[in-house]
Amino acid sequence: MTYDALSSCASSVSSYAAQSMLSSESCSSVDSTAVTSPRIASSRIALPPLDAHLKNSSIHLPNQLPVPPKALVEVDVHQLILDEELESAPRGYVIGNLRQLGPSLLTATTSTCLHVPPGPDVGPYMSCTFPSSNAPVPAVYLPSHVLAIQSLDSAQTLLVPVHGLLWAASSPPLAFLSSSPERQPPHPSLPKTPRPRRATSTEPATVSLPVVPLRLPSSYACPLIQHWLYTRSPATLLSSLLPSPPPPAQPASPSPSLSRLLNPTPAVEEASSPPTALSLAESLSALSSITLMRHMVLVHGLWQNAVALELSDDQLWHAMGVAWGVLAGALARRSRLRHAQTTTTQS
């Protein structure tokens, strides 16, 4: 299967326009001719590296996260494709229940074993083994597809088992996915051959899932996207985007919870308590500029991926905006302190 066929699954205009916050030189790039075997995506969040010129040059960053380059609209759930077990229920009800089951479905994806073939090619289907269970597991609980994600910053293809209907309900470019691949109409990003049958009856938990190629700008932000679509927890997302503050030099009151950053203190209380975002930015300014920049690159990567997938969730964008604002504030404060120290030394 060629991965160039996925132009229909992600807006290339949106993806490349999303690089405007950092210059094209600052975005990590890889040799597209390198042959690297695909790998199963890790659920662990890793910080992207910084290019050498970012470490040794001055760049200008916006204080606020820019809005998407084009208006984002929600998926029309009435157009989603349901399998036989779900088609009699209202689509909005089905999607709502799927999202409530999100944490359990995420566990099912991380527990699914992908049998990755040797070599650089994945093929139209991938053999997978689901966790064993004493009781029959409804199909809706099991992953239905494998995303083969190619990114601008990695030579490796990331393999992510997903629940197609859950992703389809959030991302317009992926709205063709369903929990039942057999019921889907033909699509350029879906295999053109029928799904192989199970090899033997002695392996009831092993199935072949259709592979869907997908291009996203940032491989480092892929776990963040996956966790968000399944958990939709702004506080958890924010904790992944921000570094931990350094330990205080002397005993101090506990740092404000990340939840308060997402729900600012009412105006009545603002006079008696400092803004929590400013307090956290002040605390984070004690970290190195490299650490702060790496987290900003991670937020930028998440922003790029959200634009490419056309995710319109207000809570997602609010959490990204809060994280960017805190990091930008920390960098600005650190820069002011260094400038003041330099001025004092010279005088």
Instruction: Give the three-class secondary structure for 213.
Output: strand
| Cα–Cα distance measured from residue 249 to residue 111, given in angstroms and rounded to the nearest whole number | 42
Structure tokens at 90: 């209202």
**Entry pTM:** 0.81
Number of Cβ atoms within 10 Å of the Cβ of 93: 11
List 208's β-bridge partners, or say none. 127
| Cα–Cα distance measured from residue 41 to residue 205, given in angstroms and rounded to the nearest whole number | 21
Half-sphere exposure of residue 222, counting CA atoms within 13 Å on the CB side?
A: 26
- Residue 232: partners with Cβ closer than 8 Å, 6 or more residues away: 99, 102, 313, 315
**294 contacts 47 by C-beta, under 8 angstroms:** yes
Structure tokens at 285: 């300014």
In 111-257, alpha helices (H)? 164-168, 222-231, 234-241
Residues 124-169: tens digit of each pLDDT: 999 999 887 776 677 788 999 999 999 989 889 999 999 999 999 9
H/E stretch holding 158? strand 154-162
Half-sphere exposure of residue 67, counting CA atoms within 13 Å on the CB side?
A: 4
Terminal CA-CA length for the chain: 66
Q: What confidence score (pLDDT) does residue 253 get? A: 56
**220 contacts 14 by C-beta, under 8 angstroms:** no
Residues 206-259: tens digit of each pLDDT: 899 999 999 999 999 999 999 999 999 999 999 999 999 887 665 555 555 676
| Cα–Cα distance measured from residue 330 to residue 292, given in angstroms and rounded to the nearest whole number | 8
From residue 77, how far is each of 82, 138, 163, 164, 169 by CA, in Å? 10, 21, 15, 13, 6
Extract the residue ranges of the chain whose pLDDT is less than 70.
Answer: 1-36, 52-58, 135-136, 198-204, 248-257, 259, 265-275, 339-347
Most distant pair of Cα atoms in the chain: their distance = 82
Q: What confidence score (pLDDT) does residue 70 get? A: 86
Structure tokens at 306: 């959200």
